[in-house]
Chain A
Amino acid sequence: MTRITDASVANHYLTSINSLKSSISLLQRQISSGNAVEKPSDSPSKAVTLIRNNDIINQINSNLNNIKTGLSFLNQTIFSLEVIQSEMLNVISKLTELEDPLKQKNLDNYADQIDQSLKIIMDVANTKADGKYVFGGTEILDAPFKFSNDNQTIEQSANSKGRINVKISSGVTEKINLTGVEVFGTILSGNGSFDKDASIGSVKNLEQDVYDSFGNQYSLQMQFEKVDEQKYEFTYVLLDSDNNVVQSSSSSNLLEFDANSGYLTSVDGKSSSELNISDSDRRINFFIDFQNLYESNSDTVYFQLNQQIDIFNTLNNISRNLRNGILPTADQKAEVYKFNIRVLEKLSEIGNVINQFNSFENMLNQQSFELQSINQEVGGVDVVKSIIDLQNKDYLLQITQKIAASILPKSLLDYL
């Protein structure tokens, strides 16, 4: 028969009581903290899940903040565009009225109204939100649009092309601003492809008419020389109507294309694909956009101007002409209509971005909620179950102590 000594009874008692107290202590901590996983060794896989989920939740919160910032800016942009569009309707209305010979008697009055519209559009174009010019790109010090020193033309800042990108989800960034260039600027857009099989050293020449703020025509002679595989050097010469060189590139610009996709990857090593050509004396200011150029098996490169003169100078020219008794030309009217359509397009574009932001906001909120639910399941405490467990352990502890108190000291010695 197994000998049971007094020490073994005592050891059993102590082991049981220690185990119960340890369980009670753990349950108490879990109930008060609400966390079942206090340290990685409680469950390494759960701890890792919680850390990853918490990181994603933090990222989601940060993205939600970005979305809020973005929406605020986008709403301000929408508001500005709506004012501009409303003013454009006024201008169109005035231009239509001017087609009526009866209304052509008081051109100065119309010139005043056009000037008023121009002022409103310029004020709105220079409006600020969250400390930034709505159409100022990344330039925050100078207003994007201003009258030239002689008040004859309106000048646009070259820095109003900067994009403000925000992260709205993992791996997803979205532009929250419309740059002054894309709304008001004169952009010469490159389209089509270079022949990737063309030999190194081959040259592609293109010519395009461009205009100054008064409407005078110039010729832009462009040259693309293939200097290496997927690499082209761009140079240009700007000639006036008498074929005099007005401006030429001080140095070449290097365009690089992706070897696999054929898409443009950089201009002079930067992701920005726009090049500004300006001459303040001659009131020339336009941008060349290479973004849509690519490399393929065929040579289809061409360039297209989005407008001859920007809306500010168009309205300014119309006003000046009216004061001189000259009615708006068909080209000027076309520019106004074209700009109005562009504003509508931009309103639609921004509306889409806002919708996208709203969708992402809903999605992120849902994601965050689900992750928090998972975290609760993985690392949370079932309080009811824990309290019942705690009561059970406490009951067992009392029983153990009671039994131990009555049994432990007993031996034959007690009965002698």
Chain B
Amino acid sequence: MAITKVFDIANRSLAVYRRAMDITSHNIANTNNPNFSRQRIVFSSDYTDLSSGIVWGNGVKIGDVLRYRDNFVETQSRIMNGKYHDTRRQRELITNIEKVFSEPSDLGLGNMIGKFFNSFSELAASPTSNPLRTSVLNAATNLASKVNLLNKSLNDVKENIKLEFDDKVKSVNNILRQLNQVNKDIKTNQIKRVSTNDLLDHRDSLLNELSKLVNINVTTSSDNTVSVSIGGSFAVDSHHITEFEMVDDNGYLSLRMKGGTNSAILTEGELSGLSSVYSSKVTSYKQKLDKIVNTIVEEVNKIHSTGYSKTSPTQTGLNFFEGYSDGILRINQVILKNPNLISISSDGTLGNGDLALRISEIMDKKLIDNSTIMEYYTTLINEIGNDGLLNKNLSEANQLVLDQLEQQKQISSGVSLDEEMTNVLQFQRSYEASAKLIKVSDELLKTILELV
């Protein structure tokens, strides 16, 4: 073997270890990039020569640059991601709704309802008392304000959910466009035999982002491109892309292909959480609230309209509430202006408060689904509380699993600075050894040349 071959081997070795240092630097630079998967250079011996019946080695070469990724963990992570973001968003929204209901406290609707009926009970004891009549109107005004605030807040929650859903659908479309482009880039790089590791990281990061929003099904083909479907509807591959839009179908919020007829079945992700709260929970809460308020209006008016006022001349046939529609509870304006029009006398005598007593007893009657108004209201609060608690527990459990999966991801894909610095030292030593080899070869060559 010629001495010059040593130069070739050493030279190649220098290039390989410099490249190895590049990979290590790339890893170190991405230590804090959560989407990055550590890369490892695979060294292999170069092609051997056969000369004079002896196999001569040709040094080292780069066999491959591997990307460490656990696909099982990745898939599980995406599933848990969807579940976590679904329950987390629901929890956040229900917490907002809980704040509006302000229970259990003096500012809650329960307290307002109780005070309204209690004010009639006290008025029954002194039907002619103007302060007590004003107190009834104050209690009614507080009740109406709370009911109206609750309705407005529930409507605002729904409106905001709709806006957020629409924004998130745009994000879904944006991610799908990026995925389509990444798929194409991966294909091109593979044709050009250029490393696709960083593109794959970017793709996985996009899939991760998408799984936060919707439930996805990912199929990876042999060329490393992915085909994604959302809730059973095709979304993207390397050739095609689907644009989605928000649909509000009779109060049910869903995701649908533009121009399509079938909605994606949302089971995970933030969009699922938003749709669930919008379509099911808020609607249910509002229906129960409406039932309570309608019962109060109906029952109070039924009794009040038969009573006689304290005015001169006495009036009868007056409803206490003007009505309840579009989430607004209205007290009869003429009564609001004149408390003497509160009609609680059953026989027209001014000191009679029989009807006030009967109105106060509405609270004791089982009027809604075999429950009293307060029992039914506590059922509503219990439902809201349980929805919030369930989603809190689920989101915490999902986060725990997600943290463990993230840990698993870190174990296989995360960058360890200790590990990388050890590699740096190793590669540095190998680089120095290769350089030394060139120096030694140079001296050998000099010795030979001096012989001439």
Contacts and interface: CB of A to CB of B under 8 A. Distances in A.
B378 A48 contact: yes
A80 to B, nearest CB: 16
A137 B388 contact: no
Contact of A138 (B106, B350, B407, B410): B350
Nearest to A48: B378
Contacts of B345: 138
Interface stretch (A83-91, A93-101, A168-176): A168-176
Contacts of B350: 138-141
B104 interface: yes
Nearest to A70: B125
Contacts of A3: 410-412, 414, 416, 419
B124 A167 contact: yes
Contacts of A164: 125, 127, 351-353
Interface string B257-279: 00000000000000000000000
10 contacts: A5-B410, A11-B403, A11-B407, A39-B388, A47-B382, A58-B111, A131-B129, A162-B349, A165-B357, A412-B422
A379 interface: yes
Interface string A258-273: 0000000000001010
Contacts of B407: 8, 11
A68 to B, nearest CB: 9
Contact of B351 (A40, A43, A132): A132
A166 B356 CA distance: 10
A4 B34 CA distance: 15
A66 B122 contact: yes
Given A3-B419, A270-B346, 9 more contacts: A3-B414, A6-B416, A54-B114, A62-B121, A131-B126, A131-B129, A139-B351, A140-B349, A412-B417
B327 interface: no
Contact of B364 (A11, A44, A171): A171
Contact of A130 (B34, B126, B349, B403): B126
A282 interface: no
Given A40-B382, A43-B385, A62-B121, A173 B129 contact: no
Q: Nearest 5 pairs between A and B by C-beta?
A: A41-B388, A40-B385, A44-B385, A5-B414, A62-B118
B382 A7 contact: no
Interface in B386-444: 386-389, 392, 403, 406-407, 410-412, 414-419, 421-422
B299 interface: no
Contacts, number: 188
A48 B382 contact: yes
Given A55-B114, A138-B345, A165 B354 contact: yes
Contacts of B114: 54-55, 58-59
B3 to A, nearest CB: 36
Interface of A: 2-8, 11, 15, 37, 39-45, 47-48, 50-52, 54-55, 58-59, 61-63, 65-66, 69-70, 130-132, 136-141, 159, 162, 164-167, 170-171, 173, 176, 270, 272, 379, 411-413, 416
Interface of B: 31-32, 34, 94-95, 98-99, 101, 103-104, 106, 108, 110-111, 114-115, 118-119, 121-122, 124-129, 345-347, 349-354, 357, 360-361, 363-364, 374, 377-378, 381-382, 384-389, 392, 403, 406-407, 410-412, 414-419, 421-422
B103 A47 contact: yes
Contacts of A176: 125
Contacts of A55: 110-111, 114, 374
B414 A138 contact: no
B67 to A, nearest CB: 15
Contact of B352 (A44, A50, A63, A138): A138
A140 B104 contact: no
B199 to A, nearest CB: 22
Q: Main secondary structure on chain B at its contact with chain A?
A: helix
Contacts of A170: 364
A40 B101 contact: yes
Given A7-B31, A7-B32, A40 B384 contact: yes
B414 A8 contact: yes
Contacts of B422: 412
Contacts of B119: 62
B428 to A, nearest CB: 11
Contacts of A51: 103-104, 108, 110, 374, 377-378, 381
Nearest to B389: A41
A50 B360 CA distance: 21
B125 A7 contact: no
A45 B451 CA distance: 101
A412 B118 contact: no
A39 B111 contact: no
A44 B382 contact: yes
A364 to B, nearest CB: 13
Nearest to B91: A41
B110 A167 contact: no
B268 to A, nearest CB: 21
Contacts of B384: 40-41
Contacts of A44: 381-382, 385-386, 389
Given A176-B125, A411-B417, A159 B104 contact: no
**Which of B31, B111, B353, B417 has the largest number of chain A CB atoms within 10 A?**
B417
A170 B364 CA distance: 8
A98 to B, nearest CB: 40
